[in-house]
Amino acid sequence: MRKAVFIDKDGTLITNVPYNADPALIRLEPGAAEALRMLHAHGYALVVISNQAGIAYGYFEDKDMQGVIERITGLLRWNDIRLDGFFYCPHHPNGSVKQYAIDCSCRKPKPGMLLKAAGMLNIDLEQSWMVGDILHDVEAGNRAGCRTVLLDNGNETEWHINRYRRPLYIAYGLVEAAQLIIKN
């Protein structure tokens, strides 16, 4: 089994543009390429984990995510980085598109995407990390059995702390998060 770093997409890996499915608007966050290269060099599989409620709300279609994934993987490939996986949840219980308007087990803060990725990619969750910019990311990682890093970049708005929403570390950017992961 291998170790991995699960990385939230919006506000962590790429600049957060709410409900965006336009590949032309996608930009890597500062330090993202450097951080992912560091993690890969230390033997971590790199897996994106993302809620995409815009599909459930009808802002864009599930098929539109392919262009988003291609843009992100292309930007990373240009920086000599290869993702090992990309998982997203198209659901939201309050969505307007009936087939996606469900309370699923994959939508963060639930751990379903991480558990699915671990099974498909042979990942040891106890040796893995979840990095994200909100406490839902932290909760999903903790519930899956990972260690967690919260990027304190101003995106968290619900500072409701419980045992699952308590990050192991807080970092101010992906490079600092990668350094903490490698050190610990």
- pLDDT single digits (tens) 66-88: 999 999 999 999 999 999 999 99
Per-residue confidence (pLDDT) for residue 158, from 0 to 100: 81
Q: What CATH number is associated with residue 107?
A: 3.40.50.1000
Per-residue confidence (pLDDT) for residue 156, from 0 to 100: 78
Per-residue confidence (pLDDT) for residue 146, from 0 to 100: 98
Per-residue confidence (pLDDT) for residue 157, from 0 to 100: 75
Per-residue confidence (pLDDT) for residue 127, from 0 to 100: 98
Report yes or no: 28 and 14 within 8 Å, Cβ to Cβ: yes
Per-residue confidence (pLDDT) for residue 74, from 0 to 100: 98
In this prediction, the residues of the chain whose per-residue pLDDT falls under 70 are none
Per-residue confidence (pLDDT) for residue 101, from 0 to 100: 98
Provide the 3-class DSSP secondary structure of residue 40: helix
Per-residue confidence (pLDDT) for residue 171, from 0 to 100: 98
Q: What is the total count of domains within the chain?
A: 1
Q: Can you tell me the distance from the alpha carbon of 52 to that of 90, in angstroms, rounded to the nearest whole number?
A: 5
Whether 10 is catalytic: yes
Show the domain range for 85. Answer: 4-183
Number of neighbours of residue 55 by Cβ within 10 angstroms: 25
Q: Which of 116, 118, 108 is nearest to 143 (CA)?
A: 108
Per-residue confidence (pLDDT) for residue 57, from 0 to 100: 98
Instruction: Give the global pTM.
Output: 0.97
When computed from its CA atoms, the radius of gyration of the chain, rounded to whole angstroms, is: 15
Neighbouring C-alpha atoms within 13 Å toward the C-beta of 180: 21
DSSP state letter for 29: P
Per-residue confidence (pLDDT) for residue 121, from 0 to 100: 98
Catalytic residue among 10, 22, 103, 124: 10
Per-residue confidence (pLDDT) for residue 154, from 0 to 100: 86
Whether 152 is catalytic: no
